[in-house]
Amino acid sequence: MTDVADSVGLELDRLISWRASQDRRPDRDENEELWRASVRAHNASRREEMRAAWEAFHEGQAERLRRTMEPLIAHHEARAEECRDQPNANAKGAS
């Protein structure tokens, strides 16, 4: 009789443990919500990475353009000043 009682006790312990483990697992809706939250977090992280990459690109591009354009602007301003300082060729011939 003791063997039967021990066997029944072991079987009950096994069933109770299995049932307890089932209670700890998230249900299907909870799993789906956890997955959605994970996707949202991943997408937010990806958006931040892309935003930072675009920011760095535009800052670098602005600096590259500044280095190129400032000397070009200075050149054209100097040429405009040279033209301004030249006597008017049409005024000499008209007088």
Q: Please report the DSSP string for the chain in residue order.
A: -HHHHHHHHHHHHHHHHHHHHHHHS--HHHHHHHHHHHHHHHHHHHHHHHHHHHHHHHHHHHHHHHHHHHHHHHHHHHHHHHHHHS--HHHHHH-
pLDDT in tens, 28-59: 888 899 999 999 999 999 999 999 999 999 99
Per the model's pLDDT, the better-predicted residue between 3 and 94 turns out to be 3
What's the whole-model pTM score? 0.52
